[in-house]
Amino acid sequence: MKELPFEIKFIYVTAFILILVFAVFIIFVVLMYNKKQILYLREKQLNIEHQNQLLQKELEKQKSIEQERERISHDMHDDLGAGISALKLQAEFLKQKAEDDDLQNDIDELLKTSEEMNLSMREMLWSLNSGNDTLGSFIDYAIQYTANFLKRTKIEFWSESEDIVPETPVSTELRRNMFLCLKEAVNNAYKHSRANTLRLSFLQEKNVFTMKISDNGEGIPEEHPEGNGLRNMKRRMQEQEGECQIIKESPGTQILFRTMV
């Protein structure tokens, strides 16, 4: 058998060595890539586990806060509520025995104060109850409050809701600030507008919630400076990344509160 020339042998050997080196290089690259992928996946898994731990801690923290809110709510209802009821009962008993007109007037003031304290306590209990952190709960309470506030006045009250998703969650802070804005607006309408009708409207457009208080009163005079009440309402809505808009009509006034939910 004829032996291959040296040059051809050299070319074959060189080619074989190059192929071997290339194969080793490919294997090395693949191994390094796999190693990096494994390290990346491990790091990602550790990050996910860390995030899950943080989330779990946050959930436990929120649960603890809610439990504390519930405890305070129950304590206020049991202790403070019972105390106010006892005070009111005692005042009514004294009024029956009192003969002096001035003394009866003083007792009437005491009864009025105790009733105001009872209402304030109910508002605080409603605010603390995490079960009320929904749009439906807020709207129900807002309508109930406004109806009770105006029932002893000559102002006729109407309410309406459009496209409301009752189970939409709202934060306790937003719920309380919206309620305080409602209280201020309804009180202003009662004290200053000389209106005989007031309408409370609620509208939800996807994640935008609007509350509107409309009256048919005299409206806000052009020369009337912006009082603390209006400033406070605008400040509260700005803190919730919302807006408060005053619309002067003829007759009456509209106050719009708009925010994201």
Mark 200-216 as b/e (b = at least 16 C-beta within 10 Å). Answer: bbbbbeeeebbbbbbbb
Non-local CB neighbours of 233 within 8 Å, separated by 6+ positions? 181, 184, 185, 244, 255, 257
| Res 9: pLDDT | 59
At 145-188, the pLDDT tens digits run 999 899 888 999 999 999 999 999 998 889 989 999 999 999 98
| Res 63: pLDDT | 67
At 27-37, the pLDDT tens digits run 777 778 778 77
| Domains in the chain: boundaries | 1-131, 133-261
Helix (H, G, I), strand (E, B) or coil at 113: helix
Q: Give yes or no for residue 213 having a pLDDT over 90.
A: yes
User: Closest Cα partner for 261 from 160, 147, 133?
Assistant: 133
| Res 4: pLDDT | 54
Class level of CATH domain 133-261: alpha beta
